[in-house]
Chains A and B, each alone.
Chain A
Amino acid sequence: MPVTEPSLVELRQVSLAYGSGASRMLALEDATLSIAKGEFIAVVGPSGCGKSTLMKLVTGLLPPTGGEVRVHGQVVKGPIRGVGMAFQAPTLMPWRSTLDNILLPLEVVEPHKRRFRAHKAEYVARVEALLASVGLGGFGAKYPWQLSGGMQQRSSLCRALVHEPEILMLDEPFGALDAFTREELWSVMQKLWMERRFTAVLVTHDLREAVYLADTVYVMSRRPGKIVKIRKIELPRPRTLETTFQVEFVDIVHELRERIHMEHA
């Protein structure tokens, strides 16, 4: 990624403390990073270091206690509109069918919201195509609790993507899945990203996942989280499962792992 590209998201010395008084606890310290438009970044680090917190700061769900977050050059004051989010848990609504769950963003986000009633059929077709692309074709009418955990997670990804958000936030979305499903979803994710070029932030525990998907990997320190390493990944795309066995790939994973081990020492 050339540095000349304008950055879409910028964090300047952002810190965040939970609680106040005696129970005040610093979760994130001096985070400075910038994400270019269309860039895929991954954030890795030990558990509890503030990765989820970082996500909430970028999307404006949490106001920072220090520093500032800018999106499109504007200081973020409240939740920014039209981001897609997928969490570690699928958070689907049990009273809606899978199809209706994925239609939800279209009912809420402009300009779809305005057109929703009149163009429902078109949107349903869009959701069905998306479902098919993650291997869930024909499951739209099922309720989330009739799906397996992995299938729910895929549905949740569809919901994060359906309104074609400019920014996609993924908080360990593949964490609860088995290795096979996970690796399959990496390639689905990469394909979608190469087609649409949204800006993505992926939080993960899995270093191979980070290297497979990201353009840039940020390594965070133990709590209070600081960014201790930034690693550009210049492996050619599309990356495949074969890529993960190549020397270059494995070297990068090792390099990252060593940096994280230093945190545990």
Chain B
Amino acid sequence: MSETQKRLLLVAMPWLAMTGLLLLWEVACIVFDVPEILAPRPTRIIETMIQRWDILLRFCLETLWTTIIGFALAIGFGLLLGLAIGASPFVYSGLYPLLIAFNAIPKVAIVPILMIWVGVGALPAVITAFVISFFPIVVNVATGLATIEPEMRDVMRSLGASQWEILTKVGVPRAMPYLFASLKVAVTLAFIGSVLSETVGGNRGIGFLMLSAGARNDAPTTFAGLFSIAIMGIALYALCALVERRMTRWAFRAEIVG
């Protein structure tokens, strides 16, 4: 196999794997004669997606928005708190146990409470997306800061740099690859958060659409919703991965062109 063939195959592999999986599903449905209400065939799901694309798109966009807003909040607060925790041992020892405890709470348990507080609608979804994606960002940023090489710190200190200068000139750039690595994880979590909130109780978003389609025994639409979520998840993941590559090329030791 030549180099170019290898590279082509590498690019094609994800698509091949996906097609293979869908094909297997399709065949299994036909062979075992699975009723549509249990698991519709992929061709049927895709057909539904094409037929009802306008509704799907509308509900998807609602979910996308709440996810992105919750995610953006998580980045902002996560970065700040991560920097504070990583930079100060006092903040660390004070807040870290609290964070762990909070992270251990199943988020599905807080959605009903949120609904009591802020009602139904976009807000509980935004908040759920935020709280669920917040944690990995904080932990990663704090880790990036806490693992600054002591020699690097000595270089800065011997130049007479202030704590603030050490933070901005070493800490923040050092924490960036950790931040971007966590974003890929966090963005998928944010999705889980908003869809979770929509399905537990809501009147909007793709989660709500799936819930109501399920109640009508409209399995193809429910599965079409599922597929849409997967597609959005992949798209946002890819976006984060792209941003990561562009922002922290030094961490990959990639050849910088031009």
Contact = CB atoms under 8 A, between A and B. Distances in A.
Q: Is the interface of B mostly helix, strand, loop or mixed?
A: helix
B151 A94 contact: no
B73 interface: no
A107 interface: yes
Interface string A101-112: 000110111000
A63 to B, nearest CB: 13
B13 to A, nearest CB: 30
B250 A143 contact: yes
Given A89-B151, A104-B169, A94 B160 contact: no
Name which of B149, B155, B248 has the most chain A CB atoms within 10 A of its CB.
B155
Given A61-B154, A93-B152, A94-B251, A109 B159 contact: yes
A91 B149 contact: yes
Central interface residue in A56, A80, A91, by most chain B CB within 10 Å: A91
Nearest to B156: A108
Interface string B240-258: 0000000010110100100
Interface residues of B, number: 22
Contacts of A145: 250, 253
Contacts of B173: 93, 95-96
A85 B160 contact: no
B169 A109 contact: no
B51 interface: no
Contacts of A93: 152, 170, 173
24 contacts: A61-B157, A80-B160, A83-B158, A83-B159, A84-B158, A85-B154, A87-B155, A89-B151, A91-B151, A93-B152, A93-B170, A94-B250, A94-B253, A95-B173, A95-B174, A95-B248, A104-B159, A105-B159, A108-B159, A108-B160, A108-B169, A109-B159, A159-B155, A169-B158
